[in-house]
């Protein structure tokens, strides 16, 4: 179940996604929250420079590995505007982070891109649960997914 607190963090992820788009990056944003509810780290996508591995979920996994003991990582929650891609799911799983709450799913993103006639990328779109063993996952959240769809369309149109 998505709580008001979850929504607050997810709205911040959408804001970060919008910031990314404004900076010339792809519209994705993510927030790492401790078990006690403290926001520990946040980031947005930095693909604009040409490095397609600069995803915020990956940055969070690295930050967590360098700054949190394993026990704390397992109890932390990662909020994100778009469901983790397989690369970020793997990073999340490998550093032992806890729950993931996403506003829009990879399946939704693939559907939006297909409607726009976009060519699929080189990496398969897989749900988090097909990459991380025993993943704890929540999402998508309808009201926010619509905002993200609009950001993704703007991002796609800019690349044309
Ligand atoms: Zn990713």
HSE on the CB side for 105, CA within 13 Å? 13
**Residue 135 structure tokens:** 């993943």
**Span from the CA of 37 to the centroid of ligand 1 (angstroms):** 24
Predicted confidence at residue 15, as pLDDT, reads 98
**37-94 pLDDT, tens per residue?**
999 999 999 999 999 999 999 999 999 999 999 999 999 999 999 999 999 999 999 9
Let me know: does 45 contact 54? Beta carbons within 8 Å: yes
pTM for the whole structure: 0.97
pLDDT at 160 over 90: no
**Span from the CA of 52 to the centroid of ligand 1 (angstroms):** 9
pLDDT at 104 over 90: yes
């Amino acid at each position: 179940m998505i709580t008001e607190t979850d929504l607050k963090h997810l709205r911040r992820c959408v804001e970060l996604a919008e910031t990314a788009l404004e900076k010339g990056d792809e519209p994705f944003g993510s927030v790492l929250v401790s078990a006690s509810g403290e926001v520990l780290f946040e980031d947005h996508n930095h693909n604009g420079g040409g490095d397609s591995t600069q995803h915020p979920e990956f940055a969070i996994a690295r930050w967590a590995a360098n700054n949190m003991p394993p026990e704390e990582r397992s109890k932390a929650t990662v909020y994100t505007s778009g469901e983790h891609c397989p690369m970020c799911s793997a990073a999340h799983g490998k550093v032992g982070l806890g729950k993931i709450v996403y506003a829009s799913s990879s399946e939704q993103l693939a559907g939006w891109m297909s409607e726009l006639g976009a060519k699929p990328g080189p990496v398969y779109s897989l749900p988090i649960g097909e990459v991380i063993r025993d993943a704890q996952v929540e999402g998508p959240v309808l009201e926010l997914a619509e905002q993200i769809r609009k950001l993704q369309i703007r991002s796609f149109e800019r690349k044309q």
